[in-house]
Structure 1
Amino acid sequence: MTQLSVQCLLSTATATISDVICRGDCRHASAEECASTTHLVFPYRGVYVRHARSEATVAEANQLLFFNAGEGYRISHPLSGGDACLSIALGGDGLQELSPREHLDSSSRVTFKPARLRIDSHAQALAAQLRYGLAGKITEPLEAETATVALVRRALGLKTSHVSRGTAVRRKLVDRVKLVLSSDLSRRWSLADIAAEVGGSPVYLTQVFQQVEGMPLSRYQLRLRLARSLELLGSYDDLSRLGADLGFSSHSHFSAAFRQAFGRTPGEFQRSVRHGLPRSRE
């Protein structure tokens, strides 16, 4: 039985968008695969590790991953539960036009140098709106194409995305921290708890995480929780229960954090994705 379920949400000359769900039964690295077309992959549930270029990259909902055409990779799932991603391939010269030169290597085709970029909350919301609208068949192709261009521009923007910094050793340590946080999003982790799981002192972890990801560890955890809430809003009627299940101290805490990140309350976002795709903010 296959590990993957792939649902094509949109297929036009401008963009091909798929909802890719993996059961994640295999904990060890899979057999090598190779994409025929460059894909931008937005994880929105679960976590996995992509092994490519002699480096292991943790994929979770704060990150955009690049699957370059012709580049071999393997996938492993260190945590149970599998994963789900929105995968986008742009047609024609669209990706070339939207990609800052700083992200590309010198080859004649579009090949990204970084393995991933940290995206901002606006990009996460755009991806969720696009997925809900297409999956519910309430978004017209032209509207979806326009939203896709806005999402890709935002996710690749030099001012709206972040390339991981630091040495390979420090990035690997930060990825271990991400796996710990992702293992239980509702848990109120302390620095001592995380340090006990990955090694190193609490002070050192905070310094390294800030250097690599460009934001405090605590805010990163909050954004993981909020990204998970975007995925769960379609299946919860009781939003107070959703906030509690994700570890927020109260509904007001959840609502305020959600509004600060995404510009609207959880209820407003839920109503918008149930009735259609909101207009993108430029």
Structure 2
Amino acid sequence: MEPGNDTQISEFLLLGFSEGTEPQPLIFGFFLSMYMITVFGNLLIILAVGSDSHLHTPMYFFLANLSFADICFTSTTIPKMPWNIWTQSQVITYAGCITQMYFFTLFAVLDIFLLSVMAYDRFVAICHPLHYTVIMNPQLCGMLVLVSWIMSILNSLLQSLMMLRLSFCTHFQIPRFFCELNEMVQLACSDTFLNKVVMYFAAVLLGCGAFVGILYSYSKIVSCIHGISSAQGKYKAFSTCASHLSVVSLFYCTILGVYLSSAATQSSHSNAVASVMYTVVTPMLNPFIYSLRNRDIKRALKRMVLGLEKCP
């Protein structure tokens, strides 16, 4: 195929861990077990928030949405890897790759937006506690989540439509276990300048913009906590945002580590291992971080378990 030809190849190969020395059955069990833990853990958070009236607050409303986004995020990438091992095939169709890339981008950006919204919620709760219920009213909470969804969908749709204009020649091996936007752009043999402009502009506007918002919220939170006189008051104020701060740190540090490692090495195996951190490990750990450090979630889970035990 010559560059500029509009003919598209029909399939790609997901290299994933094929270049490594790890036994494939071990990778199969690893991915399948981590996926089940991720879905089960985040589903428990959603059920706990939905079933306990004590958790019908803005913070837990955003947490339930984050858990739902994490389930969808992992479901777009992880199941394909065990399936490829089971069928002994690395093939993914062109349409399947574009679809996977669309939903992966959508839920990755949605995660970023929800984390920034949760940071704003903690800012209002700590810096304006007397006006918290007035500011974080149900209408505003619903609007923040709706806007997050709309922005994520529009960005993902734009990136996918931009991808459809590209042509691919003979380089159809993707050095990850899923179809990722940046990798797809690099594989194209047609002019990718416009794609890269849109991709980097969206990354700066959405990703960096949300991160700046999180940093601003926490700078105000730290300032407010510093103004509290008692040590107990400082600890209580900080404990309300400790879980969210842990999740934000984990999410952004793993993404930064992935792309720094990708820039430092061209090994597809190393890149695949690095990408596991934010696509698999981070969504799996989020429920543990929130449940282990949050007494309200623990109580809600206990009530839910006791309620199930009482059912005939």
Highest Rg: 1 or 2?
2
When normalised by structure 1's length, the TM-score is 0.30
Q: Which has the higher helix share?
A: 2
When normalised by structure 2's length, the TM-score is 0.28
Q: Which has the higher strand share?
A: 1
